[in-house]
Structure 1
Amino acid sequence: MDAAQRRISTDVDGDVWRVVLDRPDAGNAIDLALADALVDALEQRPARTRTVLLLGNGPRFCVGGDVAGMAAAPDRAAFIGALANRWHDAVRAVITCPVPVVAGVQGAVAGAGIGLVGACDLVVCARSTKIRPAYGAIGLSPDGGTSWALARTLGAPRALDLMLTNGTLSAADAHAAGLVARLADDDRLTDEATALAHLVAAGPVRAMVRTRGLVRRAATTTLDAQLDEEARLIVASAADAESAEGIAAFAGKRAADFGGTR
């Protein structure tokens, strides 16, 4: 793919792999090029990095699907279907990323951008951000995991109220509901999201990923099944070099250095 069409910029910041949605003139609207580029960026994460930091260039994090492209498509259903399926590959790549994913979001998060936010492990949200499903305004049902993210955090009644009335969720309400983990002043968003990404990268990232899986499955499994899975994963963690370092550091009354474990 031509570099000018990649729609994503990446760089290494110490132990953090920074991935930036980079289509600011279009509000980082999702087209096939952006979806492809996000999948590629996650697959190309340098092995030495221990956290992904996902940001959006410009005043808006992501306004959802590229409606201009939809309007121009000769076969709209085929176009939207191909775009949704490729975007779902990107969302799955975030969910299954082998290291934690931290996001910093600002301005506007709409449509399938909400599903992307819901797939991240920790989200820092600028206080002025507005979150709007927006599908109803163009006669579409949700995609990108948006219905999953909203139902999981708001509950079905509030999620339906938001989606069926084309409503807007404030950053404060998104934080209270648990859709985002932290709020930041607008001018501090990137700094605080970056600091959080580095904090996470300094921790036991493999244990964190196991924890992520347990938490995401907890809502759809029985307590008995969850106990079995916790037992299996804590044994896996105990056999990991992270555990050896953590326990040795605790016993030696020193700070653990998880970055050196492989």
Structure 2
Amino acid sequence: MTAPQDRPHVRTEVDGDVWRITLDRPETGNALTPALAAELAAALATRPDRTRAVLLLGNGPRFCVGGDVRSFAGADDPGAFVGQLAHDWHQVIRAMLYCPVPVVAGVQGAVAGAGVGLVGACDLVVCARTTRIRPAYAALGFSPDGGTSWALARALGAPRALDLMLTNGVLTAAEAHLTGLVARLVEDEDLPGTAVALAHEVAAGPIRAMVRTRALVRRAATRTLEEQLDDEARLIAESAADPEGREGVRAFVEKRQPDFRNAR
């Protein structure tokens, strides 16, 4: 039998149009290690071109509890170790943010530390009702990483994000849904099926237009309306000229469902 530390920390599989990536260290709550960061980055980089969406899942009762604190304690130079891990993890976050196809996640149990930033980097997040989300950095005497401060400030606003992070607070799944940190809230037993179905629904859509939409939404909070209008005009022109846009218009005129999968 393969020892937990010797088996891959991330599993990948093609599920039709969907590239499914599963964090697979359930015995540690899918805690972040250098190996997990490297394998997740590789999984994103090796997505087969024929897949049209990414689905991110966590094996076991907890989605991702953040950094592996035991490895921090065992490091000869904790500052250098944690700094390098943050650097590696940030490459993962960037790969998620700029993924050329939409990214869907299904989260359950516990989401903590850098796992919060991972959730914030996804496009659509389905959350199980009993999930608890805790930044947890204050308990270690750390400041946040992994885009956690960005994700929480964007969803909650600065005052509530600071209250959560400075007091080592916890968000319930209902609160995360109400504030917009996660898109959908489902019963625990419905999480796997709902996340898979949503990923396939997204994969059947106009993915290039979705990626343009993602860029517009993420930039909106930091730009003026004039800047946003200019970008909207540029990107809708790109979409109209794109085979997806042409197929969508033809389907509308012909009163049929568009076939975005075969729009080239």
TM-score (norm: length of structure 1):
0.98
User: How far 1:5 sits from its partner (Å)?
Assistant: 5.0
1:141-220 map, 5 Å: 141-220=143-222
> Is residue 5–residue 33 contact of structure 1 (8 Å, CA) maintained in 2?
no
Gaps of 5+ in 2: none
Partner-residue secondary structure (3-state), 2:93: helix
What corresponds to 1:94 in structure 2?
A: 96
> Once the two structures are superposed, what CA deviation does each residue of 1:10-56 show, in whole Å capped at 9, x if it has no partner?
00000000000111100000000000011100010000000000000
User: How far 1:236 sits from its partner (Å)?
Assistant: 0.7
Partner-residue secondary structure (3-state), 2:139: helix
Between stretches 124-133 and 231-240, larger displacement belongs to: 231-240
| Letter of the structure 1 residue corresponding to residue 8 of structure 2 | R
| Letter of the structure 2 residue corresponding to residue 239 of structure 1 | A
In the alignment, the residues of structure 2 paired with residue 4 and residue 225 of structure 1 have an alpha-carbon distance, to the nearest angstrom, of: 50
What corresponds to 2:118 in structure 1?
A: 116
> Once the two structures are superposed, what CA deviation does each residue of 1:197-243 show, in whole Å capped at 9, x if it has no partner?
00000100000000000000000000000000001111111110001
In the alignment, the residues of structure 2 paired with residue 100 and residue 205 of structure 1 have an alpha-carbon distance, to the nearest angstrom, of: 7
What corresponds to 2:248 in structure 1?
A: 246
What corresponds to 2:129 in structure 1?
A: 127
Task: Give every structure 1 segment of 4 or more consecutive aligned residues whose post-TM-superposition deviation is greater than 6 Å.
Answer: none
Partner-residue secondary structure (3-state), 2:65: coil
2:16 maps to 1:8: no
TM-score (norm: length of structure 2):
0.97
| Letter of the structure 2 residue corresponding to residue 193 of structure 1 | A
| Letter of the structure 1 residue corresponding to residue 101 of structure 2 | V
What corresponds to 1:34 in structure 2?
A: 36
User: How far 1:184 sits from its partner (Å)?
Assistant: 1.0
Partner-residue secondary structure (3-state), 2:86: helix
What corresponds to 2:64 in structure 1?
A: 62
Partner-residue secondary structure (3-state), 2:234: helix
| Letter of the structure 2 residue corresponding to residue 29 of structure 1 | A
| Letter of the structure 1 residue corresponding to residue 253 of structure 2 | A
In the alignment, the residues of structure 1 paired with residue 263 and residue 27 of structure 2 have an alpha-carbon distance, to the nearest angstrom, of: 42
What corresponds to 2:49 in structure 1?
A: 47
Q: Percent identity?
A: 69
User: How many residues align structurally?
Assistant: 260
When the two chains are superposed, the root-mean-square deviation of aligned CA atoms in Å is 0.9
In the alignment, the residues of structure 1 paired with residue 263 and residue 33 of structure 2 have an alpha-carbon distance, to the nearest angstrom, of: 39
